[in-house]
Amino acid sequence: MFNIRLEDDRQCLLVLMGATENGRKELVAVVNGVRESKLSWKAVLLELKQRGLATALKLAIGDGALDFWSALREVFPETRTQRCTVHKTANVLNQLPKKIQPQAKGMLHEIWNSPTKADADNAFDLFVKTYQPKYHKATDCLEKDREELLTYYDFPAENWCHIRTTNPIESTFSTIRLRHRKTRGCGSAMASSTMMFKLAQSTSKNWRRLRGHDHFPELMRGVKFIDGIPVRLSHFYAASSIRRVKWLMYFLTFGGMSGVDKFVFIMLCRVSERKPASMSANEG
């Protein structure tokens, strides 16, 4: 959420990023939303379809407090979900006494950094058994999203650093947030949107390429991944042609309730054609 000096309401920007098949990130759209409402996110997702998105999204990544998930289930019900492990770690630690938080944080990192899903499940069970008797709120917070927290094991290992957290998005837009704070807010919502759009375009020259982009075609033709390793079966090669990945999309929303930043990014499986970034306003 952004403060507007000459207006009473705060501004919420929904920013859409993408990446080409060679792993280069690009800005797609900057949209004025009504907070992080389901209606605002639904309008953004439906616009994707109108602009040429041919198939459902492969994966959506974010924290668990966004109305985005409700909109996603309506527009792309087939899309898999991945909860941000950084947000989840913070939420779990908030339910524990400070004196045991360092130990608990280490055990949580053992889950996220396990080389296989089986090892992650074992570390997950160990954490629950260790803290459930005295701190059931912490273990309940962790267990309710168990499957969504470990979805990344079904994707290429090179992509794990990008898809298990929303950190790539937060670091990418740190420059924009810093500039907004220095200017103490713009005079109007349109001026704010324009500034964010131009700053994102400028910083895009220094965006890093995504790792493991050479696996995108395998994902598109249906190759399954177990613990980050592709399972190449004969029937995967029977397809007459390989559809190329056009976009790895990122959705980002700035701000959130109670001043807490909320971020979401999504992996798209295919867009029929590449279109330039656009600016639009959604009044809800």
Pairing mode of beta strands 25-33, 278-281: parallel
Per run of 10 residues, the mean pLDDT along the chain (length 284 residues) is 53 70 75 73 86 80 79 89 93 95 96 95 96 95 94 92 82 70 66 75 79 83 87 47 40 39 44 43 42
Whole-model pTM: value is: 0.74
| Domain locations along the chain | 12-83+151-281
C-alpha distance across the termini of the chain, in Å: 15
Do 86 and 166 form a contact (C-beta atoms < 8 A)? yes
pLDDT per residue as tens digits for the range 220-277: 778 889 999 888 643 444 343 334 333 444 444 433 333 333 444 444 434 333 444 4
Do 108 and 73 form a contact (C-beta atoms < 8 A)? no
Q: What stretches of the chain show up as alpha helix (H) in DSSP?
A: 38-50, 68-75, 85-93, 101-112, 117-131, 136-143, 146-149, 160-163, 167-172, 174-183, 189-203, 216-220
